[in-house]
Amino acid sequence: MTYITKPRLHHPLLQPNALGFTRRDYEGKVSTLCAGCGHDSISAAIIQAAYELDLPPHRLAKLSGIGCSSKTPDYFLGNSHGFNSVHGRMPSVLTGANAANRELIYLGVSGDGDSASIGLGQFAHSIRRSVNMTYIVENNGVYGLTKGQFSATSDPGSKSKRGVVNHDQSIDLVGLALQLGASFVARSFSGDKAQLVPLIKAAISHKGASFIDVISPCVQFNNHVGSTKSFDYVREHNAAMNRLDFIEPRAEITVDYAPGEVEVVKQHDGSILRLRKVAPDYDPTDKISAITHLQLHQMRGEVVTGLLYVEPDAADLHDHLHTVQTPLNQLDDAELIPGSLALDAINDSLR
């Protein structure tokens, strides 16, 4: 139900890339997300990354689960096929798509509810299978589309503030991805285009399972790492009218800070997020120190961002399966059907 049709006039300033495509060629439908939603910033970063990488737009395949985040593939790369599958099961669908055609570039887009709650198993197993993909979680620490329930990624530090809610330990998807053998692991913030675009580019260029956890504030329900407020917040901030069904338009939160530094981000609900960008001399090829690094900063309440780990020469699922170079969906009858002679031999062996 997109009622606004998008102006398709090319802006004279839009520069074509090496393939002759402008940034507009990488765009999708008009977003129906809330104004200021972090997810839209991620879509913009994906568009920018694909444009800068000179990718033929139709050679990407975009797959997602269900959620506000999972809707976003409709809002970028309109010339790519997209698949908004079922809640929490994008990883398996992507795995199958990748098995069928090794030549496309696979982008998996998911939310924290989609990947850390219902989809945790599939998240983990797609990573340990080394599926060649870029797996982005648009992590707002909340179920946006179903209106503000806690997801599995909210911060453990906030566990006892309200007693009954959010008492569970939080799941750190970056930590898990590292443990599960992802060969590219990064974290960023939706508003940090300067960091996010290069990370997405690197992830797409990487062969194997690339995982990027992107913190992406939900302007409606305001749950995210560091917050326990959710609906309460909406209640308080709408005190003037005290109505739950009114949603105030908000501005996107952006940041821009240097490697090695900490940026303190004040979110819509007033809570604080401390982002620590990895220093320029950080060695992302040492897994153990990546894990230690993460744990140490986490103890200090800091969320480390940047490229945390990469195994440059990773093998992928097709290497493991030793599949032919021709995509399986393009093999012809002769390559697929052994024919009647072979069948005769089989019949003979069964007598």
Partner 1 sequence: MSLAAVNDFVVKFANVNGSGSASANGMFAKSILRMGVPVAARNIFPSNIQGLPTWYEVRVSEAGYLGRRGGGVELMVAMNPQTWDQDVASIEPGGYLFYDSSKPLPPAKFRNDIEVLGLPLTAICNAAYTDPRQRQLFKNIIYVGALAHLIGIEESVLETLVREEFGSKVALIDSNLKALAMGRDAAAENLAPIGLRMRRADKVGDRIYVEGNSAAALGAVYGGATVCAWYPITPSTSLAEAFTAHCQKLRTDPKTGEARYAVIQGEDEIASIGIVVGAGWNGARAFTCTSGPGVSLMQEFVGLSYFAEIPAVIFDVQRGGPSTGMPTRTQQSDVLLAAYASHGDTKHPLLFPEDPAECFDFGALAFDLADRLQTTVFVMLDLDIGMNEWLCRPFRWDDSRKLDRGKVMTYDDLETGKVFGRYLDVDGDGIAYRTLPGVHPERGAYFTRGTSRDPYARYSEEGPVYVANMQRLLKKFETAKTLIPAPVARPAKRRTPHGAVYFGSTTPAMHEALDLLEAQGVHVDGLRVRGFPFNDEVMAFIEAHETVFVVEQNRDAQLRTLIMVEGGVDPAKLVPVLGYDGSPITARFITDEISRRMQGSSVTPTPQAAE
Ligand X SMILES: Cc1ncc(C[n+]2csc(CCOP(=O)(O)OP(=O)(O)O)c2C)c(N)n1
What angle, rounded to 10 degrees, do the helices at 173-180 and 287-299 form?
160
What is the contact mask toward ligand X in residues 44 to 73, using x (rule: CB under 6 A)?
----------------------xxxx----
- Residue closer to ligand SF4 by CB (options 105, 273) is 273
- Residue closer to ligand X by CB (options 219, 290) is 219
- Residue closer to ligand SF4 by CB (options 69, 132) is 69
Stretch that binds ligand SF4, among 21-29, 32-40, 42-50, 168-176 (CB under 6 A): 32-40
Residue 40 φ then ψ, to 5°? -65, -35
CA distances from 47 to 24, 40, 193, 198, 327 (A): 8, 11, 11, 12, 26
The three-class DSSP label of residue 123 is: helix
Contact between 325 and 215 under an 8 Å Cβ cutoff? The reply is no
CB of 95 to its own copies, least distance (A): 11
Stretch that binds its own copies, among 43-51, 103-111, 242-250, 291-299 (CB under 8 A): 291-299
Contact between 78 and 27 under an 8 Å Cβ cutoff? The reply is yes
Residue 87 interacts with, from ligand SF4, Mg ion, ligand X, none (CB under 5-8 Å by kind): ligand X
What is the contact mask toward Mg ion in residues 73 to 112, using x (rule: CB under 5 A)?
--------------------------------------xx
Which residues 117-156 are close enough to bind its own copies by CB under 8 A?
117-121, 124-125, 127-130, 152, 156
Contact between 178 and 287 under an 8 Å Cβ cutoff? The reply is yes
Residue 285 interacts with its own copies (CB under 8 A): yes or no: no
CA distances from 5 to 22, 30, 47, 78, 236 (A): 19, 7, 19, 14, 35
Distance CA 77, CA 219 (A): 24
Residue 144 interacts with ligand SF4 (CB under 6 A): yes or no: yes
Q: Which residues of 117-130 are buried (b: 16+ CB within 10 A; e: fewer)?
A: bbbbebbbebbebb
- Residue closer to ligand X by CB (options 183, 271) is 271
- Residue closer to partner 1 by CB (options 240, 299) is 240
